[in-house]
A and B are shown apart, each in its own frame.
Chain A
């Protein structure tokens, strides 16, 4: 079953006089349970593609179906709900809120979902336990190592059982040891049926994926199922 399907995605950025085309007709298709890496040099449009897939941004033209739902035409106000329920983000720089302890960081998506305090606390504890951080619940992010922080970020990304897990250079800020641990977690999440999409420029990381989609100059160069 296709979890992601895009057709002729075009994204233009209006920089005053200059119009920049970041995506010039991207067609990709990702099935449920796949582990896909998106690769491309900087400026290739892979970040833009990731933003659109993550519903942080909308395409100028083209269609994007997420989980059979046409989300490219949805108003921005509805995208927040889509992000909340269907997408889990893992960023290169972790993006944890520094003033909240890790339990509260992980609770965040559930809070915006509207879950009761008690229920979301239980769920967040359970998820943090699964990434091996149950003894650090009250710690602030800056009291943890990079690898631990990224594990918190992963816990936050999967706490609301999203349809896709979207990781942007998740090992970029980590040493190889910690990076390896994080990739292990992604592998195991993939094995247990999660759809993982990882943006990276590191071939060693990309090679762990089922499939590599290469983006260049705003187009899919190779790796799409259709090609």
Chain B
């Protein structure tokens, strides 16, 4: 029957209290290591949250993108383009999809209204565009199927376009000039805002560029704007994130079929991207956790050394304890408990310190951070684990001392 854990805790606390300076020096490595883990975990969870909210803003987890496959060797033949009728056919083949939009970019778009120029970006799009982009019309309406069929000269403009060209006027119903074609404004999009936390090149509204865009019917662009306009990309929305991966596969098959087996298009889903991001985040986390583990390891080795030295110094004490009836297991427990107490104390201090510097570090690294209660548990477990791991060797050394030799020690 060994002495109780309570007894060992008492001895351990008393030992730490009588050797305050040594204990605080011993603790330092663990405090820093745990602090490091806290900050890393906060960075990781902050990044994950920020990635998710970004995905949500960009159409959510149900989104599927079709675009030119840059890995494809185009010398083997085939073009990464689709006609409007092909796109219509594809839409009919995937009735389960919530939305399908194809778009063509007009990079050199120039909008003109009463002598004011607005160089922006314009796209030929389909009526499903707002659903696919999870973007609502603020005023008026979006392009509809009739516009597509009739090649109507209508335009829906972004909020910045409306502000800069029309000021306080209501743009709906007015006509503006887009690259020489008179277009009637039928709608204004809602302002897109996604403020990234932190700063640096990512400061401010990351989605501001979208507010500078304008949209016209894709058929109008293809048939009236001249040039060989072809459809080179599509966005599809599945009904739910769960269906996205399946729909992605199906689309891939349809496109290969249409393109006679040539993989000129790449189909990617937000789900897939998210997995990719998760993987990237995991690699990132692993590196940081490795750093934290190394710092804890170093802290553990420091503690082990100090405990070994302290046992050397306390050999006489151990001898006395053995003489009055302490068993090896008692001595072993006494020193193991003491080491674990020190590391646990270091863990608690590290958690407190980690939390208090989180804001500071977050501002300094310009990274979003998020603390959660699980981290406290993890940090505490890790510090106790370090104590157990690095406390064993000193405790064994203490427990194996021979009473006669220990008593002879000066």
Bound complex: CA of A114 vs CA of B402, how far in Å?
A: 22
A147: interface (CB < 8 Å): no
Total cross-chain contacts (CB, 8 A): 62
Q: Are A99 and B324 in contact (CB under 8 A)?
A: no
For the complex with contacts A80-B325, A81-B325, 10 further pairs of A-B residues with Cβ separation under 8 Å are A51-B404, A56-B403, A57-B404, A81-B327, A85-B325, A95-B316, A97-B317, A109-B325, A112-B330, A113-B325
CA distance A194 to B325 in the complex (A): 20
Closest residue of chain A to B326, judged by CB?
Answer: A112
A51 to B316, CA, bound (A): 16
What would 20 A/B residue contacts be, using CB atoms closer than 8 Å? A56-B322, A56-B404, A57-B403, A77-B327, A80-B326, A81-B325, A81-B327, A83-B322, A83-B325, A95-B320, A95-B323, A97-B317, A99-B14, A100-B14, A108-B320, A109-B325, A111-B3, A111-B7, A112-B330, A156-B324
Are A99 and B15 in touch, CB under 8 angstroms? yes
Contacts of A160 in B (CB 8 A): 325
Separation in Å of the B344 CB from the closest CB of chain A? 21
Q: Does A91 touch B at the CB level, under 8 Å? A: yes
Mask, B261-292, CB within 8 Å of A = 1, is: 00000000000000000000000000000000
Say if the beta carbon of A35 comes within 8 Å of chain B.
no
B15-56 CB mask vs A (1 if < 8 Å, else 0) is: 100100000000000000000000000000000000000000
B371 to chain A, nearest CB (A): 39
Q: How far is the CA of A93 from the CA of B87 in the complex (A)?
A: 98
B327 / chain A contacts, CB cutoff of 8 Å: 77, 80-81, 112
Q: Which residue of A lies closest to B322 (CB)?
A: A80
A51-B404, A91-B407 known; A83+B328 contact, CB < 8 A? no
Q: Tell me the A residues contacting B by CB distance below 8 Å.
A: 51, 54, 56-57, 77, 80-81, 83-85, 89, 91, 95-97, 99-100, 108-109, 111-114, 156, 160
389-410 of chain B: CB within 8 A of chain A: 402-404, 407
**0 or 1 for each of B294-333: is its CB under 8 Å from A? (1 = yes):** 0000000000000000000000110111111111101000
User: In the bound complex, how far is the Cα of B4 from the Cα of A114, in angstroms?
Assistant: 8
For B328, the chain A residues whose CB sits under 8 A away are 77, 80
Taking CB atoms, residues of chain A closer than 8 Å to B360 are none
B1 interface contact, C-beta 8 A = yes
Looking at the complex, which one of B3, B7, B407 makes contact with A95 (CB distance below 8 Å)? B407
A109 to chain B, nearest CB (A): 4
Q: Out of A51, A80, A81, A99, which one reaches B18, CB within 8 Å?
A: A99
With a CB–CB cut-off of 8 A, which chain A residues contact B1? 114
CA distance in complex: A109, B404 (Å): 18
Chain B, range 314-361, C-beta contacts under 8 Å to A = 316-317, 319-328, 330
Give 5 nearest A-B pairs by CB, closest first: A84-B325, A112-B325, A80-B327, A109-B324, A99-B18
Evaluate whether A112 and B14 lie within 8 angstroms (CB atoms) in the complex, with A56-B403, A56-B404, A95-B320 already known: no
Is the pair A108, B407 in contact by a Cβ cutoff of 8 Å? no
Chain A residues within an 8 Å CB radius of B18? 99
Closest A residue, CB atoms, query B330? A112
**Chain A residues in 8 Å Cβ range of B15:** 99
Contacts of A108 on B, CB cut-off 8 Å?
320-321, 324
Which residues of B have CB within 8 Å of A100? 14
CB distance from B254 to the nearest CB of A (A): 77
Q: How far is the CA of A111 from the CA of B323 in the complex (A)?
A: 13
Bound-state CA distance A91–B7 (Å) is 26
A83 touches B324 (CB 8 A): yes
Of the candidates B3, B321, B323, B407, the one whose C-beta lies within 8 Å of that of A114 is B3
The residue from A56, A85, A99 contacting B323, defined by CB atoms under 8 A apart: A56
The smallest beta-carbon distance between B410 and chain A, in angstroms, is 9
Closest partner residue, chain A, to B6 (CB atom): A117
Q: Which of the listed residues A54, A85, A111 has the most CB atoms from chain B within 10 Å of its own CB?
A: A111
| Nearest opposing residue in chain A for B408, CB measure | A47
Assuming the contacts A95-B316, A99-B15, asked whether A112 and B404 have C-beta atoms less than 8 A apart, the reply is no
Distance A219 CA – B92 CA, assembled complex (angstroms): 110
Q: Is A83's CB under 8 angstroms from B323's CB?
A: yes
| Smallest CB gap from A168: residue in B | B407
Q: Tell me the minimal C-beta distance from B409 to chain A in angstroms.
A: 11
The docked-state distance in angstroms from the alpha carbon of A84 to that of B325 is: 4
A132 to chain B, nearest CB (A): 22
CB distance from B337 to the nearest CB of A (A): 14
Q: Is the CB of A97 within 8 A of B320?
A: yes
A111 vs B322: C-alpha distance when bound (angstroms): 12
Q: What's the least CB distance linking B2 to chain A, in Å? A: 9
Instruction: Return chain A residues, CB-CB under 8 Å to B321.
Output: 97, 108, 112
Residues in chain B near residue A113, CB distance under 8 A: 325
Shortest beta-carbon distance from B206 to chain A in Å? 61
Residues of A near B407 (CB, < 8 A) are 56, 91, 95
> Which residues of A have CB within 8 Å of B14?
99-100
How far is A85 from B327 in the complex, measured between Cα atoms in Å? 13
The winner among A80, A95, A96 for most chain B CB atoms within 10 A is A80
Residues on A with beta carbons closer than 8 Å to the beta carbon of B324 = 83-84, 89, 108-109, 112, 156
- Inter-subunit contact A112/B323 (CB<8 Å): no
A84 CA to B322 CA, complexed, in Å: 9
Q: Mark B233-255, 1 if CB is under 8 A from A, else 0.
A: 00000000000000000000000
Q: How far is the CB of A71 from chain B (nearest CB, A)?
A: 14
The CA of A220 and the CA of B323, in the complex, are separated in Å by 25
Q: CA separation between A97 and B324, bound complex, in Å?
A: 12
A80 contacts across to B, CB distance below 8 A: 322, 325-328, 330
Chain A residue at minimal CB-CB distance from B323: A89
Output the nearest chain B residue to A56 by Cβ-Cβ distance. Answer: B403
Question: Considering the chains assembled together, what is the distance between the CA atoms of A112 and B322 in angstroms?
Answer: 10
Q: How far is the CA of A114 from the CA of B322 in the complex (A)?
A: 15
CB–CB B325/A54 < 8 A? no
